[in-house]
Amino acid sequence: MTKEIICLMAFICLSGCGTDDSNRINANNPYLNTPLVNLSLNLNLPQYNLLKYPGNYLVLSNQGLKGVVVYNVNNSLYTAFDLADPNHTPSSCSMMTLQGVIAQCACNDNNSYDIVTGQHQNDPQTYPMLAYRITRSGDNLNITN
């Protein structure tokens, strides 16, 4: 009887687990398909060393849909977002460029997003940037979806 109760309690606890809110929001986005991303960045390597310092970001051009931007908020919090405008079907103009912490779309509507939060600068009703999970383990950043 005790084993059955423990199994039932474990099942109830584990059934509440799921993906984070940003992935649930983007799961309904008709414009973007979520690409497979599984990266490990060693911050001791010269090409990633910039990410050791808060306020710096790095663009990984050949990852995700249109590239992935990784931002160091405060050495314990990092963000990672796709540079494809989440409110356009991927095209030549939907790749966003960065100006400070703002990602700007080149399409006619001039969508812009904050790379710290992923939110649209002017219209909270639009889709946010496609977020990736990012964790730091020692001097390694792991970026996945």
Which CATH number does the domain housing residue 94 bear?
A: 2.102.10.10
pLDDT score of 19? 46
CA distance 84 to 96: 6
Q: How, if at all, do strands 133-137 and 97-99 pair? A: unpaired
List the domain range (segments joined by +) for residue 31: 2-144
Is the Cβ–Cβ distance between 54 and 72 less than 8 Å? Answer: yes
Bridge partners, residue 39, by sequence = 143
The number of domains in the chain is 1
Q: pTM here?
A: 0.81
Mean pLDDT of the chain: 86
Q: What is the pLDDT of residues 56-114, one digit of tens each?
A: 999 999 999 999 999 999 999 999 999 999 999 999 999 999 999 999 999 998 899 99
From 5-9, 39-43, 98-102, the region with the lowest mean pLDDT? 5-9
CA distance 118 to 65: 16
Q: How many CA atoms lie within 13 A of 22 on its CB side?
A: 17
Show the tokens assigned to 80. 């990672």
CA distance 74 to 106: 29
